[in-house]
Structure 1
Amino acid sequence: MADPWPLWPSVLALLAAVIVVIFAGSRLARTADELADRTGLGEAVAGAVFLGAVTSLPGIVTTATGALQGDAAFALANPIGGIALQTVWLAIADLLYRRANLEHAAASLENLLQAVVLIALLSLPVIAFATPELMIGWIHPVTLLIPVFYVYGLHLQRRMHQAPMWKPIRTGETRDDVDETESDGPLSRLWLTFAALGLVVGVTGWVIGQAGLGVIAATGWPSGVTGFTLTTAVTSLPELIVLISAIRIGALTLGVANIIGGNVFDVLTLTVADAFFLDGTIYAAAGPESLVLLGGTLLITTVLAAGLLIRDRRGIGFEGIGIPAIYGTTIALALVAI
């Protein structure tokens, strides 16, 4: 096991990572919006699949780093905290988009289905926490089911995109997914740009993981809460930057899909965490605060799904108030559970 980084180099590395992800995130939003138009996939699918995967790379690498270093609470808290905090970003974005409630304006059945799939995926680790003695090798069987559920969710999303059976009511505040592509460059160049930005984001994730573990070692802060708040705040910055950039260019559905799709993809990171934690199943090693963080994140996602369904027309809506409140309460309860 490598020695953790000292405190100040860790802090400086986190600050440098913030600058990198801000730059990469703004470029990612425009590139993904153009890919959505030119490939015909639409903003919801492109945001969920393209952006969801790439913006999750820092969290994946951070989680793998923590798991390999043997810190179960830190490794689990990163993906769970990423889902929670990225949902909080939507509440913040509601304040920036003054024309209407963001969940109302970005009406999309695909986004609603993604939220439902996310709730289903998050229920699987709850079962794993309750049955830590079940193992295949050193991995819990639930870990193997998470990718299966994820792929089936993508299948359902594809079916809904091709032949929707429900349609949201269109209002004066609803923003349609409109093809606004102006570039006439080769599509291959767009893909190369997207891949290069993804590589930058992924390398940054490794730096964030090492720096986060360095902060924990130097300060003695609880691993789970640190992963749920500090490192997650940095690894989730690509989603925030992409969301704000998407709102500025009018791609509301893309921005919301980036958050929800990224959250769904983040659940796959739990598979990474269990696979890279070599001292048995990670759910047996994590403390009770990890289960508190998971339960709070499930509740946050449920409130978001309700907001997408109810679609308050004006203001930030009940979800804009409820989600940050649940997030703060979850952190407080996790500290009590340690």
Structure 2
Amino acid sequence: MSFIAELGLGGNLALFALIAAVIAVVGTRLTHIADDLADRTGLGEAVAGAVLLGAATSLSGIVVSVTAALKGQPELAMSNALGGIAVQTVFLAVADVVYQRANLEHAAASTANLAQSALLICLLSLLLVVPYVPEYTLLGVHPATILLFAGYAFGLRVVNDTQQLRMWAPRKTGETREETPEDDALAKPLLPLWLGFIVLAALLGLSGFVLETVASRLGEQTGLGATAVGVVLTAICTSLPELVTSVAAVRRGALQLAVGGIIGGNAFDCLFAGAADLAYRDGSIYHAIPDQTLLWMALSLLMTGVLLLGLIRREKKGLGNIGFESATIAVLYAAGIGLSVAAA
């Protein structure tokens, strides 16, 4: 895409905005299909949000990270992945604001979302530890990458068991939204739903491929640097599907899908690091990332811990009709942005 290199700052910003709009529109449509698939397949909103919606809305981001790693840009690859986790957690706070009846984490009670949050904390902790272990690679791949993918697969099995076995159950209140399959969704044939889902997911992946080139050029033109661009620009843009799908799910009444889509997308985003390590040919990508990106790893871990506390506490009402966890997450993210820009 040599034409992007010839565009000025205004042209690249306009192209960036266009890609963001495409991602937002496609993400909205994906929400409806994912909700129908949750009912039609019997997966349930929380699991469908974590696995289907979370993975599909993350495709554009994983393309950015892998493409950047292939080009020898580990800072952009890792900051995009981990910056996305942080901003997507903030988007859950936005969805909490949209849902006016009660705190979203109270109404969308789900043991699967609790398990998914615990899995995310484990994956983030692993990513935070790896830079401090020996820089050993096998065929250019660090052993932590294998552990990351295996841990994710095992974690999904635990999440599914949590949903199916129901060893724990949230206490129902007047504001708890119980999941009930819709008759219209149950009547829809599976094949068109899966085909539509795959096509829209592919569009998100293609948008991420273009976005990586635009983001790299913007980093050069603005002087922000790869890490700041990855955290502030590409992470926010590639995370727009999570924002759009969460808000759309809340308005549709699929509250567990909204929460599960964010948490599941964050867990899937941790795999960006493993995919980037596979694509990066100059050794272990975990040992090539700057301290600023390590800050976002730790910050994402802290934000997830706060979110898990909110999911367990299930506060009905809070300041501004949102839970304490949503307010705290927003403050933590703003602090992280300030630190990143100041260090750029």
| Matches of 1:234 and 1:21, distance apart in 2 | 8
Gaps of 5+ in 1: none
Cα displacement string for residues 188-232 of structure 1 (whole angstroms, at most 9, x for unaligned residues): 011111111111111011111111111012222121121011111
| Matches of 2:84 and 2:238, distance apart in 1 | 7
- 1:164 is matched with which residue? 166
User: Which one of 115, 134, 137 corresponds to residue 135 of structure 1?
Assistant: 137
- 1:224 is matched with which residue? 227
Gaps of 5+ in 2: none
| Matches of 1:132 and 1:262, distance apart in 2 | 29
> Is 2:44 the counterpart of 1:38?
no
- 1:258 is matched with which residue? 261
Alignment length (residue pairs): 338
Cα displacement string for residues 205-262 of structure 1 (whole angstroms, at most 9, x for unaligned residues): 1111111111012222121121011111110000111001101110000111000010
Q: How large is the RMSD of aligned CA atoms in angstroms?
A: 1.6
Q: 1:3 to 1:17 in 2, by over 3 A?
A: closer
Contact 1:58 1:201 in 2 (8 A): yes
Contact 1:13 1:207 in 2 (8 A): no
Cα displacement string for residues 155-175 of structure 1 (whole angstroms, at most 9, x for unaligned residues): 101211211111101000010
Q: How does 1:205-220 map to 2 (within 5 A)?
A: 205-220=208-223
- 1:180 is matched with which residue? 182
Counterpart of 2:326 in structure 1: which amino acid? Answer: G
| Matches of 2:64 and 2:32, distance apart in 1 | 25
- 1:292 is matched with which residue? 295
Cα displacement string for residues 174-196 of structure 1 (whole angstroms, at most 9, x for unaligned residues): 10111114153421011111111
- 1:197 is matched with which residue? 200
| Matches of 1:132 and 1:93, distance apart in 2 | 41
- 1:270 is matched with which residue? 273
Contact 1:132 1:281 in 2 (8 A): no
Contact 2:141 2:284 in 1 (8 A): yes
Contact 2:40 2:188 in 1 (8 A): no
> Is 2:327 the counterpart of 1:329?
no
Contact 1:43 1:251 in 2 (8 A): yes
How big is the shift at 1:64?
1.0
Counterpart of 1:142 in structure 2: which amino acid? Answer: A
Counterpart of 1:58 in structure 2: which amino acid? Answer: S
Cα displacement string for residues 19-50 of structure 1 (whole angstroms, at most 9, x for unaligned residues): 11121111111111111101111101111111
TM-score by length of structure 1 reads 0.96
| Matches of 2:170 and 2:322, distance apart in 1 | 19
